[in-house]
Structure 1
Amino acid sequence: MDGYTVLRVIGEGSFGRVLLVQQDSSNWMFAMKEIRLPKSFSDTQNSRKEAVLLAKMKHPNIVAFKESFEAEGHLYIVMEYCDGGDLMQKIKHQQGKLFPEDMILNWFTQMCLGVNHIHKKHVLHRDIKSKNVFLTQNGKVKLGDFGSARLLSNPMAFACTYVGTPYYVPPEIWENMPYNNKSDIWSLGCILYELCTLKHPFQANSWKSLILKICQGFVSPLPSHYSYELQHLIKQMFKRNPSHRPSATTLLSRGALAWLIQKCLTPEIITEYGEQVLEETKKSKHSTLRKKARGRTRQKV
């Protein structure tokens, strides 16, 4: 803990707690995750994995890693402090007052940019939920908490063990099917629905009923003042068959999101991070146009 002064506890969980700290040399604020290290070697290696994965992620829509160290049986991960709290708090503070659509799309575009980045690095987050999406006072949205993340051997690989928060867990997991990056897309759809309605898409009085509802995949429509495009976006992300769900890149190439990318990525950020994303969304858009053109040609024949 040398070099940092603890100001207060800002979060707690099964892993340990998150502290707001001030760096003594700069007076800058950081969030410091304190994780109790397990006794067994393999479990300890597992705990260290979060710091290793987070250190690889450099993107404006992912909580930035500063450093990690171990002391007195704990692992400490020092990262960027997001001074606007998390999305779950933001939703609760609305007290039933719906968010405007342009605000929802702006936040959602930034989430997609973050998810797109980790998927390109073959990383699955596996615990995307409103509590793990953080905000800054100047309107930035950042994906955080990589404690459940998993690195896949290649982009097409599937995995079989899943950890996540039940409300956001996709049907393939409850049905004991393997999962890949499309499982994160379902969870992202749950957040988008939550932003539009201020409640979870699937709610029930028991775990059994909740799992049944998720596996059926039926959700109530969004409030009527939201656009058809937003309704359609959610419908696509809640496809029961994971292969029918859009990837993060495809989501970013859709009309409403495509024009927002330029707004979300400032020229400085595009220079540092964003050209790969912009290139990918262009490719995805051209591919969509080609498919439509092929469809029209077939109809003429």
Structure 2
Amino acid sequence: MNPPMVTFTTPTTNPPVDAVRRYELLDLVGEGRNGEVYKAVDLKLTRLFAIKIIPFHNKESGFPSDVMRKIALMAELEHNNVIRIHTVERLPGYSYGCRLVMEYGESNLSRYIVEHAKRGIPPEKAKLFLLQILQGLKHCHSRKVMHRNLRPANILLTANEVIKLSGFGSSDAFDVPNLQNNHNVGILRYRAPEMLLALPYTNLVDIWAVGCVFAELVASKPLFDGTSNPAVMMSIGSIFGVPTPADLKGASSYFDNKLGLYEPKNVEPRISLARLVPNLSRKGLDLLQKMLCINPCRRITAANALRHPFFKDLHAERARTP
């Protein structure tokens, strides 16, 4: 695949519309790791895009290396369930900076969950969303990219209810577990236990996050809660019990030293996962448990999750569709 095209426009004193009136910024729709994201209309093609404004803080050094790396990672991810970059352009109206012109998603799963909180999301709809999330994630992992910030707000939804993974500002390339991995990325309640414990981690942290999102789709509320690493670990322990040293090195001492609640005889979960997602089928619960496996070495992969019997009916339906 060719790298994203870079075009340059003449700076203007009016940032919302460039010099050739190509894009007009409409609404601020989010704030990413490196800049703000706007809903914008392409005045030439009369269609909507999402534009991320990335100002550079040091014009002497040119394109920041971390921005270049993130753009290069995203450029490799051409898939129907992953947000696509159309162009990377010099930022008009500023002395230095760039803008990413990307696909626009009309909504996201965070908003969708809130809108359907009272009546709940139909199980088959949640299943279809999960299938698409895993398809996009499988593609990311096949390209050696881990997202590291999967959450409902970063999972976009088009007008036709097609899932688009977005929010790649925290993404990184992966190969093997790395002690230097950043553990302070993503939202706390979606972080895998190995990240919370500052242990080496792999792309399977994304599977944990998807499990959290799936449970939220089914239950209409987050599965875990807390405003600190210990608080979230305690929330996880209240469902799955205290991780054993065989599952996560140092977990027992973490609970003992930081939370003061480690007791070898009390490692059984106090709250049943099935009780927290009562509308989930037996097969769906089995898949959720495999995604939320405390031991990352036994956690299911995106490719294997897509082959789980939970999706058998959807695969059969697609096979029948001409």
1:28 aligned partner: 47
The reply on whether 1:45 has 2:57 as its aligned counterpart is: no
SS in 2 for 1:51: helix
Q: Counterpart of 1:232 in structure 2: which amino acid?
A: D
- Greater C-alpha radius of gyration: 2
> Does residue 193 of the first structure (1) align with residue 188 of the second (2)?
no
Deviation sequence 1:3-60 (CA, Å, 0-9, x none): 2122222223553311111222211110001123243959921123222211111111
Match of 1:165 among 187, 207, 210: 187
Matched, 1:80 2:103: yes
The 3 A distance-change label for structure 1 pair 44 and 251 is: same
Q: Is 1:114 matched up with 2:125?
A: no
Q: Whole-Å Cα distance in 2 between the matches of residues 94 and 214 of structure 1?
A: 26
Q: Give the conservation status (yes or no) of the 8 Å contact 2:33–2:169.
A: no
CA contact (8 A) 1:170 1:214 kept: no
2:79 aligns with one of 59, 65, 68: 59
Letter in 1 for 2:146: L
Task: Find out whether 1:12 has 2:11 as its counterpart.
Answer: no
Q: Which residue pairs with 1:284 in the alignment? A: none
Tell me, in whole angstroms, the C-alpha distance in 2 between the residues paired with 1:235 and 1:125: 21
**Which residue of the partner structure matches residue 299 of structure 1?**
none
Deviations 1:144-184 (Å, cap 9, x if unpaired)? 111111012x4xx1232231111100000111211111111
Structure holding more helix per residue: 1
**Alpha-carbon contact 1:134-1:143 (below 8 Å) kept:** yes
Residues 26 and 96 of structure 1: CA distance in aligned 2, closer, same or farther (over 3 Å):
same
Q: 2:152 corresponds to which letter in structure 1?
A: S
Once the two structures are superposed, the pairs formed by residues 241-256 of structure 1 within 5 Å of their partners are 241-256=295-310
Q: 1:109 to 1:140 in 2, by over 3 A?
A: same
Aligned equivalents of 1:267 and 1:68: distance in 2? 37
1:257 aligned onto 2:257: no
Amino acid at match of 1:139: E
SS in 1 for 2:231: helix
Residue 22 of structure 1 aligns to which amino acid in structure 2? V
1:237 aligns with: 291
Q: Distance in 1 between matches of 2:317 and 2:208?
A: 25
What residue number does 2:258 align with?
none
- Structure 2 CA distance for aligned equivalents of residues 7 and 266 of structure 1: 42
Amino acid at match of 2:46: N
Determine what percentage of the aligned residue pairs are the same residue: 26
Secondary structure in 2 matching 1:147: helix
User: Is the 8 Å Cα contact of residues 193 and 294 (structure 2) preserved in structure 1?
Assistant: yes
Q: CA deviation at 1:78?
A: 0.6
Give the superposition deviation at 1:102: 0.5
1:238 shift after superposition: 1.1
In structure 2, the CA distance between the partners of 1:41 and 1:263, relative to structure 1 (3 Å rule), is farther
- Using a 3 Å threshold, how does the CA distance of structure 1 residues 14 and 127 change in structure 2: closer, same or farther? closer
Aligned residues of 1:202 and 1:210 also touching (Cα < 8 A): yes
**Distance of aligned partners of 1:78 and 1:264 in 2 relative to their CA distance in 1, 3 Å threshold:** farther
Secondary structure of 1:239's match?
coil
Structure 2 residues without counterparts, runs of 5 or longer: 1-17, 241-270
Counterpart CA distance in 1 for 2:313 and 2:66 is 40
The 1-side partners of 2:77 and 2:117 are apart by: 34
Bigger drift between 33-42 and 249-258 goes to: 33-42
Q: Deviations over 1:229-255 (max 9, x none)?
A: 111111111111101111000000011
Paired AA for residue 252 in structure 1: L
